[in-house]
Amino acid sequence: MSTKMLIAGGDSFTADNTKWEAWPKHLCDIGEFDEFINVAKGGAGNEWIFNSVYDAIQKYRDDYEITVVVLWSDLQRINFFDTGNKSLMSEYELLSFDTVRWHDRIEETSHLSQIVMDVCRTQIQYNDAKQMYSNMLTYSYRRLHFLEEYCKLLNIKLYHGCIFDMQNGINVVKNISRSFTVYDTEILEPNFVKYKKQLEDSKIFMGFDFDVATYIEETGLIISEHNTHPNEEGHIHLAHMIYKFMRDGIRPKLKSERRSTRKFIYE
């Protein structure tokens, strides 16, 4: 009988920490896996998450029966970690529980990300906000879709979901508003985004109407008011939620209607 391995990918909502076991360890126990590997990293964006999970699959696919579970991160995060195999900012600094220092580091990282994106915008001419919005979402959605296709090709079980709002997130609006005028008003769903339909129809994706960050806040299982990562009980709760989705295939729901987020139309 082959050894069953769980490969978990994501950002700081998934990464190991020094305080308690993260959800992959608990999912390994309740899901009756023999082993697990957690390749998540604090501050990781979706490009790095895809790459790290892909590398792990390549490393273990010949010796284990693999199941992959991924929680995808914010749409806007730049891949800082694959530059010469050395991160531009240490994971310890990004995950520091010193609230003041933690916010300082997040601000520095965000500023660096904005600089990189500004440089990209000067090189790539966007005709309007709609095109820019489509490109932003497609860039991340492509990785979600490609991982599904890759795992399907290798007959590997995959289950995945979103940590943050991956359609109308505040960061998307902020970045677009730095180049175009946007308005706070209702719009139709962005059906022009490539790969969106495939993900909406996927039976192994938790869906765009559910995000882990809101779920953890709703259940009150955050570390503190200033640090909204899952606490110890939150990681246990999250493992059971993911396992239930793996077992019955029913997408999880938020307790209330989705939190109000900025939606906009284009000038």
What domains, with CATH codes, occur in the chain? 4-266 (3.40.50.1110)
Percent of the chain clearing pLDDT 70 (strictly above): 70
Helix (H, G, I), strand (E, B) or coil at 245: helix
Q: For the chain, how long is the longest CA-to-CA vector?
A: 60
Q: What is the pTM of this model?
A: 0.82
Helix (H, G, I), strand (E, B) or coil at 40: coil
pLDDT band at 85 (very low <50, low <70, confident <90, very high): very low
- Helix (H) / strand (E) element for 8: namely strand 4-9
Q: For residues 182 and 109, what is the distance between their CA atoms, to the nearest angstrom?
A: 25
Q: For residues 121 and 171, what is the distance between their CA atoms, to the nearest angstrom?
A: 16
pLDDT at 127 over 90: no
pLDDT at 210 over 50: yes
pLDDT at 74 over 90: no
Which pLDDT value is given to residue 267?
42
Q: Which residue has the higher pLDDT, 169 or 197?
A: 197
Average confidence (pLDDT) over 140-158: 95
Which pLDDT value is given to residue 234?
96
Residue 34 is encoded by which pair of tokens?
Answer: 């023999």
The DSSP 8-state label assigned to residue 65 in this structure reads E
Helix (H, G, I), strand (E, B) or coil at 161: strand
pLDDT at 86 over 50: no
Q: Which residue has the higher pLDDT, 67 or 189?
A: 67
The DSSP 8-state label assigned to residue 252 in this structure reads P
pLDDT at 119 over 90: no
Average confidence (pLDDT) over 176-196: 66
Strand partners, 230: 222
4-9 vs 35-38, strand pairing mode: parallel
Instruction: Indicate the length of the chain as a whole number.
Output: 267
Angle 61-67-69 (CA atoms, 0-180°, nearest 5)? 125
- Helix (H) / strand (E) element for 175: namely helix 170-177
pLDDT at 39 over 70: yes
State the angle between helix axes of 170-177 and 129-153 in degrees (0 to 180), rounded to the nearest 10: 140
Q: Which residues contact 188 (CB under 8 A, 6 or more apart)?
A: none
**CB-hemisphere CA count at 13 Å for 118?**
8
